[in-house]
């Protein structure tokens, strides 16, 4: 799980060009949206959906389904672990 969380952080940081967010600061429990968290927006979610398909073979057709999944890196990791196809 720890490895998966770390992989996801790296992949998200790269795919979303989170240049100024260091890996140390990147808290897997921090909310991904809103000003108190990582501050992602709707396009970022779509980019994470692409990333999940590319790296883990997970297809999320409707971004609305993702609301619970995309709370934090931790919740994404739990979803990936349960549903990954590669």
Partner 1 sequence: MISVIATNITSPLGFTTEENYQAVLSGCSALKRYEGLWGLPEPFAASLFTEEQKAALAIEGYTFFEALAIRSIRKALTYTSLGNDISRIVLILSTTKGNIEALGEACYYPSEAAQRIAEAIGLTTKPIVVCNACVSGLSAQLLADRLLSEGIYDYAIVVGAEVQSKFIVSGFQCLKAVSEEPCRPFDIERNGLNPGEAAATIVFARDANKERWSYSQMIGKKEHWCLISGASCNDAYHNVSPSPQGDGLTSAINAVMKGRDKSQLATICAHGTATLYNDQMESVAIQRAGLSDIPLSALKGYYGHTMGAAGVLETILTMIATGDGIILPSKGFTESGVSGNVNIIDEQKKTDKRAFLKIMSGFGGCNVAAMYERTTDNGQALARRSQQSTDNVKLVKAHTIRLSSEDGKTLTDIYKQQIGDYPKFYKMDLLTRLAFVATEKTLSNSPLKGEDKMPALILFNHSSSIVADRQFLDTIKDAEDFFPSPSLFVYTLPNITTGEIAIRHHLQGETSFYILPDKDEALMQQILEASLAGTDTTTAICGWVDAESETCYECELSVYNII
Here the tokens at position 23 are: 């890996």
CA distance 77 to 29: 11
Instruction: Name which position in 14, 27, 53, 65 contacts partner 1 (CB under 8 A).
Output: 53
The string of DSSP letters for 31-63 reads -SBSTTTT-B-HHHHHHHHHHHHHHH------G
Closer CB to partner 1, residue 3 or residue 42? Answer: 42
Instruction: Name which position in 14, 17, 57, 81 contacts partner 1 (CB under 8 A).
Output: 17
The answer to the question of residue 65 lying near partner 1 (CB under 8 A) is no
- Which DSSP state fits 15? H
Closer CB to partner 1, residue 41 or residue 81? Answer: 41
Give the residues lining the site for partner 1 (CB under 8 A).
Answer: 16-21, 41-44, 46-47, 50, 53-54, 62-63
């Amino acid at each position: 799980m720890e490895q998966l969380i770390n992989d996801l952080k790296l992949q998200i940081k790269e795919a979303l060009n989170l240049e100024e967010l260091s890996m140390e600061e990147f808290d897997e429990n921090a909310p991904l949206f809103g000003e108190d968290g990582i501050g992602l927006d709707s396009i970022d979610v779509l980019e994470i959906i692409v990333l999940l398909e590319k790296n883990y073979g997970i297809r999320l057709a409707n971004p609305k389904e993702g609301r619970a999944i995309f709370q934090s890196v931790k919740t994404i990791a739990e979803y990936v672990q349960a549903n990954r196809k590669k």
